[in-house]
């Protein structure tokens, strides 16, 4: 069920409206309540972050899409359309800007950029270019995550990152992204939560 069809979920426009009201009330509050506030240092980034796979929806060439559609599945429910941020990203950016943020981190899905080995989609690169342009137009500094746990199905089938040439294949994808989109990106993080493997190893 999409968020605009579920009475228990606050819609994007409702959130923007609520943020505007909250900002107005805060501005009208007593001076004593605001006197303790210190401005953030110059260049400080107040940001939001989102996982591409969990929000875009219908990333059918991803390993996670296969895993969540197998029966039985380790996933409680399928992602399906998710929040449809693939098409509604401008609304998402508007919410972030209305809340006063100046930075937004989102992922670029490898499975969309390279749906089959060695074949890159110019249409998908153009899509992410439009996202980056829309992000910047809202005054949000774009930070991109190149891998947020999911990989293309073809990459997973051949052994994923455990295969010897995996770094070269990942680097090829990264190079293609930066070649096309680098001029629109302010910051890049290669892997989301890159230390998670260490944390898992340390767990009892």
* Crossing angle (nearest 10°) for helices 85-98 and 12-27: 10
How far apart are alpha carbons 41 and 44 in whole angstroms?
Answer: 6
193 catalytically annotated: yes
Burial class (CB in 10 A: 0-12, 13-18, 19+), 29: exposed
How far apart are alpha carbons 115 and 104 in whole angstroms?
Answer: 25
Distance of CA 172 to the CA centre of its chain: 21
User: Which of 117, 133, 179, 193 is the catalytic position?
Assistant: 193
How far apart are alpha carbons 93 and 89 in whole angstroms?
Answer: 6
| Residues tagged active-site | 193
């Amino acid at each position: 069920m999409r968020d605009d069809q579920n009475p228990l979920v606050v819609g994007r426009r409702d959130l923007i409206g609520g943020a505007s009201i909250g900002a107005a009330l805060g501005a009208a509050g007593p001076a004593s309540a605001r006197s303790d506030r210190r401005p953030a240092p110059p260049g400080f980034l107040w940001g939001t972050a989102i996982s591409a796979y969990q929000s875009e929806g219908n990333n059918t060439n991803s390993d996670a899409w296969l895993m969540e559609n197998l029966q039985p599945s380790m996933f409680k429910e399928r992602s399906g359309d998710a929040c449809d941020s693939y098409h509604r990203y401008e609304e998402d950016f508007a919410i972030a800007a209305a809340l006063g943020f100046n930075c937004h981190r989102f992922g670029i899905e490898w499975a969309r950029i390279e749906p089959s080995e060695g074949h890159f989609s110019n249409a998908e690169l153009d899509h992410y270019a439009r996202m980056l342009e829309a992000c910047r137009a809202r005054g949000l500094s774009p930070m991109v995550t190149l891998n947020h746990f999911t990989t293309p199905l073809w990459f997973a089938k051949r052994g994923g990152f455990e295969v010897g040439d995996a770094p070269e294949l990942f680097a090829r994808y990264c190079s293609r992204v930066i070649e096309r989109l680098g001029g629109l990106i302010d910051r890049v993080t290669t892997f989301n939560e890159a230390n998670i493997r260490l944390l898992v190893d340390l767990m009892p």
